[in-house]
Amino acid sequence: MSERVPAPGDLALIEALVNTLDIEAGADELDTEDGRARFGLTQGEAEAARELRESLRATLLAHAGHPAHRATTPLGELLSRAPLLVAIDADDGSAHIKPADTSAAEDPLLSRVASAIARSLAEGTWPRLKACEAPTCHWAYYDRSPAGRGRWCSMAVCGARAKMRRYRSK
């Protein structure tokens, strides 16, 4: 759908997960074995991944100033199931984020998403991951515009459609 460059760093995981659903076509990659394999999911884990995906989408819509597309479990509630801690390597002093307890391993995708969000918060990139305002799209994209006010995943597709609708309505 989008000609945009993928989101930087760990945000690429979140962008890819949100974009597993093509709303316009009605195709869900998590319905396929290959789509689930991209995220290390079994068929039994797909429903939890869909819940996470839609909570992420609602949050990304909020980043862009748009209302939620539907009722979802709040992202904060899902992330509370995967608490993180900062671990320091005693040998070289390097720091990394890891799950706070081993029970988080029950949902490794949730732990990876929580870690990605934490790292992107530290880098200041989290608020620029957004969802397209077009109701038939809601594709995730990284807003690289100087002012951080991007509204569509693609000016060539969703942006052009919105501008054409606005022009025709006049």
pTM equals 0.85
Q: Which domains does the chain have, with CATH numbers?
A: 11-74+108-169 (1.10.3300.10)
pLDDT in tens, 76-126: 999 999 989 888 999 999 988 888 876 555 788 999 999 999 999 999 999
Mean pLDDT computed over 33-37: 97
**Coil, strand or helix: which one is 23?**
coil
Rounded Cα distance between 154 and 131, Å, is 11
pLDDT in tens, 44-89: 999 999 999 999 999 999 999 988 888 999 999 999 999 898 889 9
Q: For a pLDDT cut of 90, what percent of the chain falls above it?
A: 59
Rounded Cα distance between 42 and 94, Å, is 33
Mean pLDDT computed over 144-168: 66
Rounded Cα distance between 155 and 160, Å, is 6
**What pLDDT does residue 2 have?**
42
**What pLDDT does residue 1 have?**
46
